[in-house]
């Protein structure tokens, strides 16, 4: 059996025709920039997350850049963010001229460690960008109260967490600004790049909208340097078809996660991801990824030669000596047709692009540990029970017969 990490096949057999019709409507309308599809999507997305304003843009990365610029964060400013995330979170901070200050994560839920925030705040700190990584909402109550006490802004990186809730509220509605990505493999995916910024503040909404169109409050009048970062009309049309299906897809993701949690329970050398108990209705995991930790140094599998990423890492002084168990489990799974992905093999603070910041391989211990242990199992709404049982049976065999 072959189990892909992600597949659009079944989704296309269900809504492919509707998507084609939506794209055709845009082509026939001749309205390629802005227009009804974009307006409708922005309104429906704002309604679905429960926020006053949603502004479409080119990508999740642009959403972060627009948010930072709207808050007037730039040169000389510091922004606190986890290093265990996709590179774009930090890249956006650097690209507006500010400095990312990395904090470690909690091993339990892989999210920014709240207790380390106070250690890194300086007079230059302007904001925190917490990441709802893999779809798991971070404790926004704590983040917002810390931010208020310290006079900081909060930009939520919701790229992986559309649909997730903290204390009954959607991610992206409690911080000052929320940033969403509609990259195809996110919970709500377009057929290309797309993103959105959410806020309840009318002044911020206005600024974000202007910055996304060349800092232009009215035609050919530019008050500041902005970007060309609009939500494409064709992508908006696709998102308008998909948005009503998001609750169903989230239910399916949740069901898949609960089956993994049940079938993989109690295996030696394996840590399962954090989840909310059934009684905790006010918190909802978005399950964009189901990420296990392979912690057993005893699992060796057949081959222990490092994979490509660990070879690259060696040349940058990154100690990945503990990733062998994870890497060999991944290889053994692949031989059985089970495709897994490592999010993320190299922490952001040790990327060559951030060498100048001077972090070393013992700067953020938990982040480093996770990078050598995490493995993402296939999870997407259309994954079948049969496929899931196969994945779990193979993992069980590999770990128990080791
Ligand atoms: C995907 C992602 C982004 C960037 O979104 P794009 O739409 O790909 O630009 C930012 N942060 C995180 C955590 C992401 O997963």
Summarised one tens digit per residue, pLDDT across range 74-83 is 999 999 999 9
Sign (positive or negative) of CA dihedral 315, 316, 321, 323: negative
Mean predicted confidence (pLDDT) in 2-26: 95
- Evaluate: CB of 156 within 6 angstroms of ligand 1: no
Domains contained in the chain, CATH given: 9-245 (3.40.640.10), 246-400 (3.90.1150.10)
Nearest atom of ligand 1 to the alpha carbon of 182: 7
- Evaluate: CB of 134 within 6 angstroms of ligand 1: no
Residue 321 has pLDDT above 60, yes or no: no
- Evaluate: CB of 289 within 6 angstroms of ligand 1: no
- Evaluate: CB of 235 within 6 angstroms of ligand 1: no
How far, in Å, CA of 125 to CA of 203, rounded?
22
Nearest atom of ligand 1 to the alpha carbon of 133: 13
Mean predicted confidence (pLDDT) in 58-68: 98
Helices 246-263 & 385-400 angle (0-180, nearest 10): 30
Nearest atom of ligand 1 to the alpha carbon of 64: 10
Q: What is the predicted pLDDT for the residue at 311?
A: 52
Q: What is the predicted pLDDT for the residue at 361?
A: 84
208 CA from centroid of ligand 1 (Å): 18
Q: Which residues pair with 177 in a beta bridge?
A: 155
| Global pTM exceeds 0.85 | yes
Nearest atom of ligand 1 to the alpha carbon of 160: 15
396 CA from centroid of ligand 1 (Å): 32
- Evaluate: CB of 260 within 6 angstroms of ligand 1: no
Which among 114, 173, 103 is positioned nearest to 143, based on CA atoms?
Answer: 114
183 CA from centroid of ligand 1 (Å): 7
- Evaluate: CB of 366 within 6 angstroms of ligand 1: no
Cβ neighbours of 320 (radius 10 Å): 22
Q: What is the predicted pLDDT for the residue at 281?
A: 85
How far, in Å, CA of 94 to CA of 78, rounded?
10
Q: What is the predicted pLDDT for the residue at 298?
A: 53
> In this structure, which residue's CA is closest to atom 13 in ligand 1?
86
């Amino acid at each position: 059996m072959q189990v892909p990490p992600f597949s659009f096949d079944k989704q296309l057999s269900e809504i492919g025709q509707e998507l084609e019709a939506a794209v055709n409507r845009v082509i026939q309308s001749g309205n390629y920039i802005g227009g009804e599809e974009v307006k409708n999507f922005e309104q429906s997305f704002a309604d679905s997350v429960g926020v006053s304003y949603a502004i479409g843009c080119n990508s999740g990365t642009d959403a972060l850049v627009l948010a930072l610029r709207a808050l007037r964060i730039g040169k000389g400013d510091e922004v606190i963010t986890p290093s265990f995330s996709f590179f774009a979170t930090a890249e956006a901070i650097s690209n507006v001229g500010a400095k990312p200050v990395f904090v470690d994560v909690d091993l339990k839920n892989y999210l920014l460690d709240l207790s380390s925030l106070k250690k890194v705040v300086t007079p230059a700190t302007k904001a925190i960008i917490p990441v709802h990584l893999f779809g798991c909402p971070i404790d926004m109550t704590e983040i917002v109260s810390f931010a208020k006490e310290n006079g900081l802004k909060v930009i939520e990186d919701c790229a992986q967490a559309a649909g997730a809730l903290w204390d009954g509220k959607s991610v992206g509605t409690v911080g000052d600004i929320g940033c969403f990505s509609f990259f195809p493999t996110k919970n709500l995916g377009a057929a290309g790049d797309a993103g959105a910024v959410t806020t309840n503040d009318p002044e911020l909404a206005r600024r974000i909208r202007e910055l996304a169109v060349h800092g232009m409050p009215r035609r050919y009048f530019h008050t500041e340097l902005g970007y060309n970062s609009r939500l494409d009309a064709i992508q908006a049309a696709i998102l308008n078809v998909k948005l009503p299906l998001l609750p169903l897809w989230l239910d399916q993701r949740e069901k898949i996660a609960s089956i993994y949690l049940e079938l993989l329970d109690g295996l030696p050398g394996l840590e399962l991801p954090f989840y909310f108990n059934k009684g905790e209705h006010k918190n909802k995991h978005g399950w964009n990824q189901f990420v296990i930790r392979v912690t057993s140094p005893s699992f060796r599998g057949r081959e222990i030669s490092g994979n490509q990423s660990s070879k690259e890492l060696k040349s940058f002084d990154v100690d990945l000596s503990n990733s062998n168990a994870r890497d060999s489990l991944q290889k053994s799974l692949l031989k059985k047709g089970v495709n897994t992905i490592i999010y993320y093999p190299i922490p952001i603070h040790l990327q060559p692009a951030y060498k100048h910041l001077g972090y070393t391989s013992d700067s953020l211990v938990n982040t480093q540990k996770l990078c050598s242990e995490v493995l993402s199992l296939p999870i997407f709404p259309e994954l079948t029970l049969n496929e899931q049982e196969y994945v779990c049976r193979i993992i069980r065999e590999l770990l128990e017969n080791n």
